Every structure is written in C-alpha cells, then in structure tokens.
C-alpha cells in the first residue's frame, strides 16, 4: 500500500486516525485546502502549513491543460514545483466533467473536453488521468468517475455507478505502483445504490474510499441524511474522504458519520468575496459598520490576521481599495478557522467527548446560519 491508515480512537461512527503518506503523517479528521493550480489562492506554502494543513488537493484537469503534466514532471513533480513539503492529493478530472458539462461529452472511453482555455479537444480517459496524476507525483490519486447532477434519474445514477466501477478497475491497472488510489462512490441520494457501490469498490485493492457526487445541487438536509446512512458502513480499515464539501455544518455532520478527509473552496472563495468566518456569524467586511471598527476579525482566533492585530477597519479599507492584502488576510483567517474546526473535532474524539462537543458546535453554526447576514 502506498499509504497507511491507522485508527487512534472512535466514538460512535466518528473517527480519529493517522494517514501516513510518503510526504506527511496526516492526523484525521483533516481538511485539505484547495490548491487548484498548484497553489492555495493568495497564500504561500509556508502560510498554509502554518495554519496546520498537512495535505492539500490539486486539480488534475487544470494542471493537465496548463502548464502540462510533462512540464511538472520535468520540474520534479508537484512537491518540488509548488514547494509544498507535505502530502498532496490530486482529483481525477471527473468533477470538471460535471462543472463544465456544456463543454464535455461522455463515452465509455472517457470525457471528451473542449478546453476552457482555447477550445481544443482533449480526451480524458481513466488511463490518461492516471498517467497525468503519475507525472504530477501526488501522494494520493483519485479515480476518474462519473458525477451525475442533482435530480438525475434512477437510470442515469445506475449508469454512472456502473461506469465508475469499470473505470476504477481501469485506473487500478494504469496507476503508478507507488501512488495511492482512492475509489469514488456515486449514487446521488439513493442510499441503497450508494451502499452497493461502496461494496463493489471496497472489493477492489483501493487505498481509500471517497464519497463523490454530493453538494451538486441537492438540499443540504438530504445530503446530511444520506451521509449519515452511508458513511458509517464504509470499510473501517480505509480512510473515508468526502469530496468538495462544504460548510462548517457539513463537516460536523460528516465527521459524526465517520468521514476522515475533506476539501472545499469556501475558505478562500468566500475570502475573495470579502467574507470572514467568525464565532457567532459570518462577517462581511465591506459593510459600512466596520469602517471605524478597531477589533480584529475574531478575538479568539490565532491566525496571522487576528494575532497580528489587523483591525476590521483596516481590512475593510484594503478590500474596498482592491488591495491584495485583504484577500490574503481573509484567506489566512478562513483557512485557520476550518483547520481549527477539524483539529478540535479530533481532540474531542480522542478525549471521548465528541458527542457533546459536536452538538454544541452544530448549535452554534446553525444559530449563525439562521441569522440574516451576521452578528459578532
């Protein structure tokens, strides 16, 4: 196995573990900042590492198109190219087929893309996805999968599941021996279909099991319901990864269901939109109420923006003026908030108090979501 996963403690379905990869030992639950173009937007690798991240996820499709996997390999692989010293996962390109559906056609061979950069036709097969991810040199590769949209018919869900299983076998045949490979469970909101698909994938020599096809337009409550019924039944010996999800509430629900790994663009995307996640609310920095506010974003936060004493007034000024430092400070803060959440969840599991802690955290995030915009 290219990675090793060990359980440290469980409480109910919630798990604290250690995922050991060639480049890092990653305590779980963990949050992987999204580094689409081999960078977490606006942040240096040292800053992301200082936030507590020990794994990031990079994007196979985008790096395949630009700068190209051969160039990355020439530069020593993603670790050397990006100067990220810890673990790296790469997604397969399957989600881009969903998000760029108007540019993509699907066949048993793979996805035929019209590049969003220049319109050139590119065929991404399971074998090509593995070749690219092998050249990129990530610790963990994801299989090429078919991600159906919310509201897909039972027939479409069934076809996506069957093709994803066939592609998992092709990916296993094509992957580098020293690179871990995670399979991806599909099935929409059909609990029995997802359970059956998980059993099929877990019969294969995959290093981990990912849950894909969530947060694609379905109501969050339905996602939570299905997660709570599917995730606890996954193979306990392998890491469980929920792809592309989500809010702090999503993470708390999923950790309770036995999910170990997460990624989401929200910390940096919301930062670029001038939003900071804080205790008791979501702070929208451009609001006039912060023009004279000398407080930091969140007095209880240890991120460089808060510990450095940067006031809301100053960060608002930077944001209104279009200064890049505003995006950097907000991105740092939000990244710290997400990683702090999973670290505190892990500690609560290890100390046997996760159930109470999780209910308290859920109540807090749901109370803030119920408020129209923000309170601090």
Mean pLDDT of the 48-63 span = 98
Q: Catalytic site residue 91?
A: yes
In the predicted model, what is the mean pLDDT of residues 240-247? 97
d(CA 328, CA 322): 12
pLDDT confidence of residue 373: 45
What is the per-residue pLDDT for 369?
75
* Confidence grade of residue 274 (pLDDT, cut at 50, 70, 90): very high
- The helices-and-strands tally (H runs, E runs) of the chain is 15, 16
Query: Which one of the listed residues 250, 263, 293, 298 is annotated catalytic?
Result: 263
Find the helix or strand (DSSP H, E) in which 9 lies.
Answer: strand 4-11
Whose tokens are 């061979």? That residue is: 109
CA distance 28 to 263: 13
Compute the Cα dihedral for 64, 68, 73, 75 and give only its sign: negative
* Mean pLDDT value of segment 152-176: 98
Inter-residue contact 54 to 285 (CB < 8 Å): no
Q: So what's the pLDDT on residue 280?
A: 73
Domain 4-264, what fold?
TIM Barrel (3.20.20)
Q: What does the radius of gyration of the chain's CA atoms come to, in whole angstroms?
A: 20
What's the mean pLDDT in 202-225?
97
Residue ranges covered by each domain of the chain? 4-264, 270-370
pLDDT tens per residue across span 90-142? 999 888 988 888 999 999 999 999 999 999 999 999 999 999 999 999 999 99
pLDDT of residue 372: 39
pLDDT higher for 113 or 84?
84
Is the predicted pLDDT of residue 370 greater than 80, yes or no?
no
- The per-residue pLDDT for 371 is 64
The answer to which of 93-102, 109-118, 317-326, 367-376 has the lowest mean pLDDT is 367-376
User: Of residues 91, 139, 260, 293, which has the active-site annotation?
Assistant: 91
SS3 at position 113: strand
């Amino acid at each position: 196995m290219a990675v090793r996963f060990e359980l440290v403690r469980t409480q109910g379905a919630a798990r604290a573990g250690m995922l050991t990869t060639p480049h890092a030992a990653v305590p779980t639950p963990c949050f992987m900042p999204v580094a689409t173009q081999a960078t977490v937007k606006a942040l240096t690798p040292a800053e992301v590492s200082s936030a507590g991240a020990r794994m990031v996820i990079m994007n196979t499709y985008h790096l395949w198109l630009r700068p190209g996997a051969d160039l990355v390999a020439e530069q020593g692989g993603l670790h050397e190219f990006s100067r990220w010293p810890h673990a790296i996962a790469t997604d397969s390109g399957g989600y881009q087929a969903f998000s760029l559906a108007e540019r993509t056609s699907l066949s048993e061979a793979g996805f035929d893309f019209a590049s969003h950069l220049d319109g050139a036709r590119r065929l991404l097969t399971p074998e090509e996805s593995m070749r690219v991810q092998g050249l990129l040199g990530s610790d963990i590769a994801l299989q090429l999968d078919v991600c159906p949209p919310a509201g897909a018919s039972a027939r479409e869900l069934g076809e996506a599941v069957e093709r994803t299983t066939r592609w998992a076998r092709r990916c296993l045949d094509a992957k580098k021996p020293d690179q871990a490979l995670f399979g991806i469970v599909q099935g929409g909101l059909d609990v029995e279909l997802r359970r059956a698909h998980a059993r099929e994938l877990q019969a294969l020599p995959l290093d981990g099991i990912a849950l894909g096809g969530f947060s694609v337009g379905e109501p969050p409550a339905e996602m939570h319901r299905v997660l709570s019924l599917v995730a606890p039944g996954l193979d306990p010996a392998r890491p469980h990864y929920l792809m592309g999800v989500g809010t702090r509430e999503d993470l708390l629900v999923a950790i309770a269901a036995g999910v170990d790994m997460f990624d989401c663009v929200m910390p940096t995307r919301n930062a670029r939109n001038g939003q900071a996640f804080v205790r008791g609310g979501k702070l929208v920095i451009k609001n006039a109420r912060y023009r004279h506010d000398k407080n930091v974003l969140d007095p209880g936060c240890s991120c460089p923006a808060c510990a450095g004493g940067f006031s809301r007034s100053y960060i608002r000024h930077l944001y209104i003026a279009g200064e890049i430092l505003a995006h950097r400070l907000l991105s740092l803060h939000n990244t710290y908030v997400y990683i702090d959440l999973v670290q505190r969840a892990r500690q609560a599991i290890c100390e046997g108090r996760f159930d109470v802690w999780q209910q308290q955290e859920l109540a807090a995030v749901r109370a803030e979501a119920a408020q129209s915009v923000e309170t601090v």
